[in-house]
Structure 1
Amino acid sequence: MNPKIIQITSKETLPIRHQVMWSTKPLDYVKLPNDHEGLHYGLILGNELISVISLFINDGEAQFRKFATLENYQGKGYGSLLLNEIMQISANQSLTRIWCNARQNKTDFYIKFGMTITEKTYVKSGIDFVVMEKILPKY
């Protein structure tokens, strides 16, 4: 089975966001107020949506949010395929920077994609986050 990346709706991201990120919270907890403004992508394996990410472009920068891969498929490269696609989309748009709010325990994953840790940190529901960024090359 070859994985396929497609654009999806924000509503289609919700089950995976909820299950992977905040399963103990209500479903509304994983909705974003500006979900309607984002570009949402999913990785499909066979007929199953297994990984999702949302991209928000503002003022020449992109922020990806709510990046989640079903637990059974983590560590197999599927999330990396999806994140690479988002990086490419951002680079093709001549954006200056792509960034995210990363869980502190996931920073090594993002470093593999050329992202760096900034000094901006915060805690949400007992989880430590850090802002990570990648300055995109100008063409």
Structure 2
Amino acid sequence: MVQVEQIFPSLTWRIRHEVMYPDRPFDFVKLKEDFEGIHFGLYADHKLTGVVSLFQEGTIYQFRKLAVLTAAQKMGYGAQLLQYVIDFCKIQKATKLWCNARVNAKEFYVKFGFQATDRIFSKDGLDFVIMELALNKIEEK
């Protein structure tokens, strides 16, 4: 049984740390904006298995720190979380959803309709590309 729910920011930190930055101090995975965002957790058999954080600026949303426990990867949980976020943004009438994707994960996002921009950067020893998904068009009056 798989279920996605909104969760407290602090529930994201353990999985972020374990999956994304295990060699860094625990506080490294905390974002200063965490308490302004919306956070979702994917529960597989009642165990928190994946997380993602969503931040809004007007009608544009950014998701950050999409992570699934290593033992549960390649089971479609990341795809379920991302689809949930896309659907949530559509309901919120978002016009665009974007992320800083690790370059080696770019193809994962392409499957959902995201397009790579020409904005590429390196941070903390990793290469990222900004990817965007156009959503609801603003209705003209």
Could you tell me which residue of structure 1 aligns to residue 130 of structure 2?
Answer: 131
TM-score by length of 2: 0.95
- Partners of 2:136 and 2:108 in 1: CA distance: 21
- Identity between Structure 1 and Structure 2 (%): 43
Structure 2 residue aligned with 1:114: 113
Give 1:12-27 correspondences, 5 Å limit.
Answer: 12-27=11-26
Report the counterpart of residue 71 of structure 2 in structure 1: 72
Equivalent-residue separation in structure 2 for 1:5 and 1:38 (angstroms): 16
Cross-structure match for 1:99:
98
By how many angstroms is 1:59 displaced? Answer: 1.8
Q: CA deviation at 1:9?
A: 0.6
Shift of 1:95: 1.0
Cα distance in 2, alignment partners of residues 32 and 125 from structure 1? 15
Provide the residue aligned with 2:59 in structure 1. 60
TM-score, length basis structure 1: 0.96
* Total equivalences in the alignment: 138
Determine the C-alpha separation between the residues in 2 that align with 1:16 and 1:67: 9
Cα RMSD (Å): 0.9
Q: Quote how far apart the aligned CAs of 1:121 are.
A: 1.2
**3-state SS of the aligned residue for 2:89?**
helix
Could you give the per-residue CA deviations for residues 65-116 of structure 1, whole angstroms, max 9, x where no partner exists? 0100001111111111111000000011111100000000000000001000
Write the deviation string for residues 2-32 of structure 1: whole angstroms up to 9, x where unpaired: 1010110110000000000000000111110
Write the distance in 2 (CA, Å) between the matches of 1:95 and 1:131.
Answer: 18
What CA deviation, in whole Å up to 9, does each residue of 1:32-60 have, x standing for no partner? 01100000000001121000000001121
Runs of 4+ in 1 over 6 A off after TM superposition: none
- Structure 2 gaps of 5+ residues are none
Q: Which amino acid aligns with 1:22?
A: Y
